[in-house]
Amino acid sequence: MFLDYHAVLVFLITGVAMVSAPLILGFLFRPSNPYPEKNMAYECAEDPIGPAQIRFDMRFYTTALIFIIFEVEIALMFPWARVFRDAPNQTLALGAGLIFMSIVFLGLVVDWVKGDLDWVKTFHNKRRVQD
């Protein structure tokens, strides 16, 4: 039984070694010279203006989630397309693919109707929160 999975073990050990070796070597050989300006937060090599912890608009979060959903959908469609050609019952495989795509499309329609795809939103009867 071990011989059946020895390739997986070799790949696992190689992957762990390739990730941990640069981290360990960097920790051992890189210089450590901290000073206040070096430890200061920056963005694009510019000095910070204002606090580092700010509130991000929820539109960024919603847009990122929608993007991830459609990326996963595309990632799941590639294996389905590969298996579809050799499926014993192509009608059933086509139906399963269409059901999956229609569920994802329904999610897009729901997001669209809720207004989550609109970048500039207007909030009626909402009280603005003061900092």
Q: Which residues contact 77 (CB under 8 A, 6 or more apart)?
A: 97, 101
Q: In this structure, is the dihedral angle defined by the CA atoms of residues 44, 46, 47 and 50, taken in order, positive or negative?
A: negative
The overall pTM is greater than 0.85: no
- List % helix, strand, coil for the chain (3-state, nearest 5): 65, 0, 35
Q: How far apart are CA 34 and CA 40, in angstroms?
A: 10
Q: Which two tokens stand for residue 126?
A: 């909402």
* pLDDT per residue as tens, the chain (131 positions): 566 788 889 999 999 999 999 999 999 999 888 888 777 777 677 777 777 677 777 778 878 888 888 888 888 888 888 888 888 999 999 999 999 999 988 988 888 888 777 776 655 555 555 54
Q: How many contiguous H segments (helices) and E segments (strands) does the chain have?
A: 4, 0
Other Cβ atoms less than 10 A from the Cβ of 113: the count is 9
Delineate the domains of the chain, giving CATH numbers in brackets.
2-114 (1.20.58)
